Amino acid sequence: MRRDAAARLLASAALPVLQRLPPEIAHDLGLRGLRLLQGLWQPPERDGPVVEAFGKRFANPVGLAAGFDKNGDYIDALGALGFGHIEIGTVTPRPQPGNPRPRLFRLRRARALINRMGFNNRGADHVAERLRRASWQGIRGISIGKNADTPLERAAEDYITCLRTLYPVADYFAINVSSPNTPGLRRLQAAEALTGILRPLRQENLRLRQQHHKHVPLLVKISPDLELHELQDVCEILFKEGAEGVIATNSSTHIPGFEAELATRQGGGLSGAPLGQKSLEVLRLLRKGMGTSYPIISVGGLMNANDVVARLAAGADLVQLYTGFVYRGPSLLAEIHRRLNPDPRH
C-alpha cells in the first residue's frame, strides 16, 4: 500500500470520531492529526490544470479557504495534501480571542456549518513568523481584517498594518470586508466605505512593492447577501480602485429555511451545501459584470467534484474549499483531482 493511501485511510477512519466531538475541538485535533501524517502524503500524480491569475501561477485551481488555518500553524501539513493555494487567516493586527464559545455548530443533515468565530487569531506578527518558517511552495494568500475594537472609521489603518507586517510572506491579500461575525464589518462593502479602504491600501501596496521588490495583489472577499445594486456598486469600485480580483463568497446570514437555526445560534454565518446555489448565482453575476478576464475565486457550498466543475464552467478561475473539506477531509480533494485530471490510461 502506498504511504499516502495509508494516510488517507487513517484520515477517513478518524473523521467519524472527530465529528462526534464539539466542532472547534474536532477542528484543532484534525489539524494536529494532519501534521502527524504529513510525511506520508504524496503529491497528486497529475497536479494540474495549471491556472494563471492576477500575475500568479497556481499548480491547480483548488485552494483552501480562509478560516481553516487561521494562524499559518499548519500550512506545510495542509499543503502536502495537494492544494494549489492556501488562504491563511483572517488575520488582524493584534491578537484577539474572538467571540465566546460555543461559536461553531454543525448542521449534519444539511451538510452545513454555522460559525460566529469573530476573527480569533494570534495576530499579524505571529502569522508572519509562521509563514517565514514554512517550507510549502504553493501560493499563500492571507485574509486580513480589522480588530473588533477598532472603530469602522479607522478600519483602513488596521488593514494597512496587516499589509505592512505580512507583505514579505504573502502571495496575495484577501481584504475581508464581508464576515458577518465582526460587528458592522459588512458596512465596509458600501461604496464610500469600500473606496476608503481600497484607495489607501493600493497606495501603500505600491510603496511596499518598491520596498520589497515584489508585487502582492489585493483581492476583495464579498458577501453572498448583497442586493443586486450593491453588487453592481462593488464591481464598479473594484475596477475603479484597482483591486486585482474578487473572492465570492463569504458565509451567509440569509438562507431561506435556515432562519431559525441562525437565530438559535445567536447569529453567525452559514456555509456548506445550502450556500451553494447562492454562491453560484453571485459568481455568474460577477462574471457578467466584470467581463471574461477579471480573476474570480469562487467559494461556498463546494461539497464534491461536480460542484467544482460547475463553478469552473460558470467562470471561476479558482475555487476554495471549506465546509466540504470539514465534512469529507482529504478524500474530497483527491476526488476533485481525479475529476480534473482523468487518468489517460482508463
Give the Cα separation of 121 and 115 in Å (integer). 15
Is residue 139 within 8 A of residue 171, CB to CB? The reply is yes
Which residues have a Cβ under 8 Å from the Cβ of 14 and sit 6 or more positions away? 30, 33, 329
Q: Using CA atoms, how far apart are residues 327 and 106, in angstroms rounded to an integer?
A: 10
Inter-CA distances, 64 with 84, 189, 226, 310, Å: 8, 23, 23, 18
Parallel/antiparallel/unpaired status of strands 139-144 and 85-91:
parallel
Catalytic residue among 135, 143, 178, 179: 179
Residues linked to residue 187 through DSSP beta bridges, in sequence order: none
Residue 73 half-sphere exposure, CB side, CA atoms within 13 Å?
A: 18
Let me know if 143 is a catalytic residue: no
Is residue 138 within 8 Å of residue 84, measured between CB atoms?
yes
Supply the residues annotated as catalytic: 179
